[in-house]
Amino acid sequence: MAEVVQDIAMQILRNAVIHGIETPDVRQARKKSEIGRLKLSISEDKDKKHLVLVAEDDGNGIDFDAIRAKAVANGTNTPKNKRRI
């Protein structure tokens, strides 16, 4: 189980760094520190039945329109589907 959690955590970290944290020049233009911030925490819920993984960064945020467009393009979703992505 620890290896699975580690793999998931690493993928989340990679995604945040590759897709979220801007380059230093973009960050400066947005009045942010040149150095991005990324925090990852893993804990158990109060019943110790589930792990809670939280990732936080000060990057771009999630582009939901781009995610929806990709889901439509790969057939995972349709433009008329009201399901939230």
Average pLDDT over residues 40-48: 89
| 52 touches 69 (CB < 8 A) | no
pLDDT number for residue 56: 92
Contact 36, 58 (CB under 8 A): yes
**Which amino acid is residue 13, in one-letter code?**
L
* Strand, helix or coil for residue 81: coil
Q: What is the pTM of this model?
A: 0.63
As a whole number, mean pLDDT of residues 13-34 equals: 92
pLDDT at 84: 58
Tell whether the model's pLDDT for residue 51 goes beyond 80: yes
The whole-number pLDDT of residue 65 equals 87
